[in-house]
Chains A and B, each alone.
Chain A
Amino acid sequence: MTSPNKVTNKVTNKVQTDSPAATSEPPALGGGVEVRLVDLRRTYGTVHALDGLSLDLQPGELVALLGPSGCGKTTALRALAGLEELDSGTVMVDGKDITRVSAHRRNMGMVFQAYSLFPNMTARDNVAYGLRLRKTAAAARRKRADELLELVGLGTHATRYPHQLSGGQQQRVALARALAIAPQVLLLDEPLSALDAKVRAQLRDEIRRVQREVGTTTLFVTHDQEEALAMADRVGVMSAGQLQQIAPPAELYERPRTAFVAEFVGLTNRVPGTVDDGRVRVLGTDLPLLEGSVTTGAATVLVRPEAVEVAPDDDGNGRVVAPTYLGSLGRVEIRMHDDSVVLAQVTSHQATELTPGTPVRVTVRPTPVLAIAP
């Protein structure tokens, strides 16, 4: 089988030399455009699915929208696709206002959460369908479809029908189909959520690879934080129709601006502390504060388990309640002397040594933390 990288290069190089006026050729792949969502609002009865959402995507960027069910992330994606009507707001793509443009004229490729291949068509016909609608010549659309099937590693499955493909294969064909029309924007609506964990991890890497190679601006909606952090250039966390924070994965994880973001992305301990003079004292350690923290007095401090250090100590400040062995690492639940419970991330070796009841001393590494009102 041809390597996917070679296929992409072949596709993009070929496209760049094509005349844009050649109607028998499929449109050129690659190249991203800027996307702007401005103050989007959508209400269902009394529920504000979108409550003034604004979001910019840079050309070629992959942005993930992350949030719990009902936070409005899918509504935002569907509004961009033209599948959801807005009460107000503006959708701009490549500098053009497309708010009132019908879904079928937006030139956006979409991969759905549900299996969405047309059951009556083979994988090749599914991929070529968008080009057929664009009246691309039969030979050209077949060539493009085969190239894209190669790109997603299904070159030998072109003549198979959807029910002859596994869930992961179907989603890969759906990705090829979405890319075949050389969309201005690629929209991924939880495309991995119906798949099992192993296929999910494989396909996650594959989608990212393909997106990087083709360079299409992509909006990816998921409720899986690991997926979002692993795939996206930037991750936006949504709650109640609003964007809480959007930042690169590391920044979002290490410097959350709100308690919701800190607690939704990753694990977080709520530990009592005292804020004074721009720092907070937690478990006997002074820590720098993140932007958005309370400025003085008693506070609840949000501390990541990996910032918590644990060492066996007969005169310590807590006792191990439950160690958990997770293979490459471990977690230990510790009951402090003030009866609060702290979760610490430890090495897997430590997790086996710290048996329940072991007296320990818990300290916190001096990393910036968010302190909120208790």
Chain B
Amino acid sequence: MAAVTGRRSRSILRWLVLVVVGIYLLLPLLAMVEFSTRGAGGTRSLEAWRGIGEDDDLLDSILTSVELAALTVVGMLVLLVPTMTWVHLRVPAVRRIVEFICLLPLTIPAIVLVVGIAPIYAWVTYLVGDSPLTLTFVYVVLVLPYAYRAIDGGLGAIDIVTLSEAARSLGASWPQVLVRVIIPNIRGALISASVVSIALVLGEFTIASLLNFDTVQVVINLLGKRNAGIAVAVSVAALLFAFVLLVVVAYLEPRRRSAPDDETPATAPAVQEARA
């Protein structure tokens, strides 16, 4: 009887926590939706939402931010995946140093980063041009801490040394080991790293604003000063986009299939040999 009462109390507590957190997270979103659908004289209107498609500056900035997100993801993956794989495989002694370097951007405030990077961007503008896509360079640095953590977790979850040695013994070159063995087995981690990077780039305001580039957040800020309804509608749309992205990621995550019923599957992680 006491056990049943205890279970019921825990269940109520769980639901209570869920409801409180749900209200905390959903209430501002509902308020945003309510605000963005306000019409004249207390009516409901989708005028602000329709305005998104009619504002050329906004559409351009959305396109720019999406391109930036894509380039940042590519840059981050090209930079981190081979580097981290190599460090895990060949020079594990420098792992802490690489981790420290990758986590550094977390500790530097955006404004300090901009002050430091502004003179460099003068050269970037001079050499590459003044396209907002040049923000990719600083955004790759900005996403390093989050992407590093995700990829490091993925590499740590597989026996990368044994898998790569097995592939090598079968005749795989290092690029083949990376492309055909390592990457498919850390797919989940790479997707997570990419999603975090996309979310970060789409939400980044400070650096883009201070370096005078028109990304979606900068334009939303400007738009908010003349039409708050559209600005809020775009913000809700961005949140919905992130939500859809997370659902897609959850779908793409590799799933485990059921275990065989005739023999117990090997669940223990590979026993790392003590090199004799």
Do residues A72 and B259 form an inter-chain contact, with CB atoms below 8 A?
A: no
Which residues of B in the span 254-272 have a Cβ within 8 Å of any Cβ on A? 254, 256-260, 263-266, 268, 270-272
Main secondary structure of the interface of B (DSSP, over half): loop
Do residues A116 and B166 form an inter-chain contact, with CB atoms below 8 A?
A: yes
Please name the residue on chain B nearest to A156 by beta carbon: B262
The size bracket of the interface on B is 35 or more
Number of interface residues of A (CB under 8 A): 56
Contact with A along B82-106 (1 / 0, CB 8 A): 0000000000000000000000000
A78 surroundings in chain B (CB, below 8 A): 275
Do residues B276 and A110 form an inter-chain contact, with CB atoms below 8 A?
A: no
Known: A105-B171, A164-B258. 11 other contacts (CB 8 A): A70-B276, A74-B276, A104-B171, A107-B171, A110-B169, A115-B159, A116-B163, A116-B270, A165-B265, A166-B266, A178-B170
Across chains A and B, the number of contacting residue pairs, with CB separation under 8 Å, is: 131
Listed by A's residue number, 22 A-B pairs whose Cβ atoms lie within 8 Å are A49-B276, A81-B165, A81-B169, A82-B168, A83-B168, A103-B168, A103-B169, A104-B168, A104-B171, A109-B169, A114-B159, A114-B270, A114-B273, A116-B163, A129-B167, A129-B180, A134-B171, A161-B257, A163-B259, A165-B260, A168-B263, A194-B270
Known: A103-B168, A181-B171, A221-B276. A164 touches B271 (CB 8 A): no
Known: A133-B171, A133-B176. A114 touches B162 (CB 8 A): yes
Do residues A108 and B263 form an inter-chain contact, with CB atoms below 8 A?
A: no
Smallest beta-carbon distance B231→chain A, Å: 44
A69 surroundings in chain B (CB, below 8 A): 274, 276
A73 surroundings in chain B (CB, below 8 A): 276
Interface positions of B (Cβ within 8 A of A): 158-159, 162-163, 165-173, 176, 180-181, 184-185, 187, 254, 256-260, 263-266, 268, 270-276
- The answer for the CA separation of A105 and B174 in the assembled complex, in Å, is 12
Interface: A8 (CB within 8 A):
no
- The answer for the CA separation of A73 and B270 in the assembled complex, in Å, is 20
- The answer for the CA separation of A187 and B274 in the assembled complex, in Å, is 17
Interface positions of A (Cβ within 8 A of B): 49, 67, 69-75, 78, 81-83, 103-110, 112-120, 129-130, 133-134, 157, 160-161, 163-170, 174, 177-178, 181, 187, 189-190, 193-194, 221, 223
Do residues A160 and B276 form an inter-chain contact, with CB atoms below 8 A?
A: no
B260 surroundings in chain A (CB, below 8 A): 157, 160, 164-166
Please name the residue on chain B nearest to A65 by beta carbon: B276
Smallest beta-carbon distance A372→chain B, Å: 26
Do residues A170 and B176 form an inter-chain contact, with CB atoms below 8 A?
A: no
